[in-house]
Amino acid sequence: MTEEEARRKQRARFEGLAHVVAAPLHRYLLRRARPDLVDDILAETMLVLWRRIDDVPGAGTDSVPEPDDVLPWCYGVARGCLSNARRADGRRLRLMERLIRTQEARPPAGDTDHSDLHAALDTLAALDREVLQLWAWEGLAPRQIADVTGMTSNAVSIRLHRAKKKLAAQLGRKDTDRSGHRTGEGRSSQ
């Protein structure tokens, strides 16, 4: 059997499966999910069925399988897709709530001007800026930043150190004299 024939057979098997299970799965999802999510979850379910057509019990070589043979397994796939959609919806809701809380906690825009900071950040290379922002704004340690960026912890530490130095230089906050110390203090001239 050629590859083209195998694809045609697989497509025919899937079309027969879809013909049998689409309506029952749609009803199943209508009873369990918000109406605006049903079509997306059904589409995700059908995609999983397409990818795993060889795993569907009862979806043998016949073009139209018996509903009693395939529906229980397909309901299980739909249930998994529904769970994924609910988790994703929960994550989106938590993110929106967090963004709203963050926005409410911010001082009014007119009170502080950070344009010099943003201009200085824009002079940094993209990866340097990302590492610095993850450290300063998200409060991540170099080990955690390494997980985010895919770099090693050591590379992150070096990049972070250099980025902080560049940012300080851009902002003009690099003091040559250290407060509380006199030049030459603690050193012998001999």
Say if residues 121 and 129 touch (Cβ distance below 8 Å): yes
- What residues contact residue 70 under an 8 Å CB cut-off, 6+ apart? 17, 20, 21, 56, 57, 58, 59
**Residues 17 and 49: beta-carbon distance below 8 Å:** yes
Residue 110 has pLDDT above 60, yes or no: no
Average pLDDT over residues 106-116: 65
Q: Residue 94's closest CA among 102, 104, 84?
A: 102
| 188 band by pLDDT with thresholds 50, 70 and 90 | very low
Q: What is the 3-state secondary structure (H, E, C) of the chain?
A: CCHHHHHHHHHHHHHHHHHHHHHHHHHHHHCCCCHHHHHHHHHHHHHHHHHCHHHCCCCCCCCCCCHHHHHHHHHHHHHHHHHHHHHHHHHHHHHHHHHHHHHHHCCCCCCCCCHHHHHHHHHCCHHHHHHHHHHHCCCCCHHHHHHHHCCCHHHHHHHHHHHHHHHHHHHCCCCCCCCCCCCCCCCCCC
When pLDDT is averaged across residues 64-90 and rounded to a whole number, the result is: 91
pLDDT band at 108; cut points 50, 70, 90: low
pLDDT of 163 over the 70 cut:
yes
Residue 29 pLDDT greater than 90, yes or no: yes
List the domains of the chain with CATH numbers: 9-105 (1.10.1740.10), 115-171 (1.10.10.10)
> What mean pLDDT do residues 115-128 have?
85
Is it the case that residue 101 has pLDDT exceeding 90?
no
Q: Average pLDDT, stretch 140-164? A: 90
What tokens does 5 get?
A: 């024939």
Higher pLDDT, 64 or 164: 164
Point out the least confidently predicted range of 24-33, 60-69, 181-190: 181-190
Each residue's pLDDT tens digit, 43-67: 999 999 999 998 888 776 667 788 8
Is the confidence at residue 88, as pLDDT, over 90?
Answer: yes
Provide the pLDDT for residue 187: 47
What is the C-alpha separation between 122 and 158, in angstroms, rounded?
A: 19
